[in-house]
Structure 1
Amino acid sequence: MTILVTGATGNLGRLIIASLLERGVDPQSIVAGARDVAKAADLGVRVAQLDYTEPATIAAALEGVDSLVLVSGSEVGQRVAQHQAVIEAAKAAGVSKFVYTSAPKATTSDLVLAPEHKATEELIAAAGLPAVILRNNWYTENYAADLSRAAETGVVAAGVGDGRVASASRKDFAEAVAVVLLEDGHVGETYELGGDVAWNYGELAAAISEVVGRPVRYEALTAEEQGAALESAGLDAGTVGFVVALDAGIRGGALADTDGTLARLIGRPTTPLVEGLRAIA
């Protein structure tokens, strides 16, 4: 079996490849798809140029590939077209397993990020691909900036109210990708993946306090207060609106669900919040 991982030089892509190698996959059976192949030289596997905006590179990277991991793109607003190019190429290549990293409850969620994932899932279904959908909750690494600011200010400020987040470390999610790639029986499944514990921002502040060694408190902001603070920091109106909407989704519970599916897939508990934060401190 030959596996192609898109976005291989990104944070998640690198960890997926590392997890496959840890499970004994032959490095020559893994293809790292990257827009800049030089950045993939240290991965220890085969490398192929893969640019979402250049379909010919996708088709070439898929030559001889049995399984494909589409790590969702990072360019918000452009992802559906980028993903569609990969989906069409995968269908033409006749891949036997197509794994996509989606968002929590992508087809029903009010989360501002969900629509592009919903559209991608619909394209995968319409193409009739033998797919496994992994709906990843938040990565604990998403809070690196909050950790850094809180180390200086002693404050975590957000507009999430008492909303909870079932985060896990990227390595946990990467291991889940490796599992569904290498095991039989997952095609056709959609898995909601999250950490074992859904925490609120008061608990996030306490965890950061433990990591940085100083008192840290959570300051709950209204949407108006948050918007004003972001504007005063120099962010443009579009970015301000996006961040405020994102926090509103968290406040509404979009990231709160956890049922242990991720832990069951990887065969161990997910990485606790404090441990995950300590790894990025």
Structure 2
Amino acid sequence: MINYNGTLVTESNISIHENRGFLYGDAIFETLRVLDGKVLFLEDHYFRLMASLRIVRMEIPMNFTMEYMEEQVLLLTDTLAAAPSYRARISVFRKSGGYYLPTNNDVEFIVTSSALEEPLYSFTEGAYEVDLFKDFYVTKQLLSTLKSTNKMVQITGSVFAHENGLQNCLLVNDEKNVIEALQGNLFMLTGNRLVTPPVSDGCLNGVMRRQVLALAQKVEGLEVVEASISPFDLQKADELFITNVIKGIQPITKYRKKEFVSIMASDLLKRLNAKIRFS
């Protein structure tokens, strides 16, 4: 079951050979986590989606309010088998027509969802090893910060990670700075200094990134900064961890020959779950 333009259907019957999201990557999406009948961090998701649609010059329907977006997600998740929480995705794409130049800027949307086993965030047990993915890089520009359906760098990087027995890879931009992981933003703790790359370096403007920054700024004695990270900085770090809305916080246990602890990541995860419980 999916939600296609506000109607629950088993199939969208979209003609894939005409769909601009398929043909040109002309689509923006948000991946959401639903808990107890509400979308977590709804406001951040909504305003990021609206900003992204404006950047790529898609026409935002007048009725597409924040409340409407949540209603459309819950319309679908409420019909699914009961689960502690859900992963949902809303994909917005320009209507069919044209080649690189669209015939109009009106949009359609699809909401899909699947159940998650855990209601709150938790760590993946065991080793979580990463390395740099250097075959391709992310350009240091505004489009790189959007959640568009053009994800070939992340796809080829994921294949590389799988082929090399890694759990993830770290991406670099055209200035050879480390900006993010394949599926989330990167944080690095060195001493009492927690660093994450600035959005201006080309990393995703992550919703969970924003949550973790806000939580970290409340930790006594911790300096929280947004600054560029070089590959050499990773070797000096005490902790590395990845953030995204579905997983929350994922500690990195090993980068090349360096192994890491997860003390700060554990503390921030507890704070994140507490915020969710009492918000």
Same fold (TM over 0.5): no
More helix by share: 1
Q: What range is the shorter-chain TM-score in?
A: under 0.3
Q: TM-score, normalised by structure 2?
A: 0.25
